[in-house]
Amino acid sequence: MTFVSNETVSVIADPPLCPDFVIKLRSETDRLAGLQDKKQEYLENGIRLGWLIDPLSKTVHIYKRGSLPEIQSAPQSISGQDFLPGFVLELSEIRSRDS
């Protein structure tokens, strides 16, 4: 899933467009290192917030502009923080499928 605010779209003059917010759910066939590299590439191109949800290791990697990636182990939910205030993704459904 990706999200780009109207504010960002209005100032873009020429593609390629980098989303403001990206969620990636790791599948069994995805290489974690490749996904982490992709999120780092997003950061370098202007992403504001990115989540890499890894049900295999029950972790969430949180990428924010200007910060080192944060890894949370088995969180119940994750929030949109300052960028998407009030947005919370409950992770119980993702975990229950892996059980």
65 pLDDT tier (thresholds 50, 70, 90) = confident
Please give the C-alpha separations between residue 11 and each of 1, 15, 21, in angstroms, as whole numbers.
22, 11, 17
pLDDT digits (tens, 9 = 90+) for 35-57: 999 988 888 888 899 999 999 99
> pTM (2 decimals)?
0.77
DSSP β-ladder status, 70-73 and 77-80: unpaired
Per the CB < 8 A criterion, the answer to whether 47 and 63 are in contact is yes
9 pLDDT tier (thresholds 50, 70, 90) = low
Cα end-to-end span (Å), the chain: 24
Q: Is the peptide bond before 16 cis (omega within 30 degrees of 0)?
A: yes
**Residue type for position 76:** Q
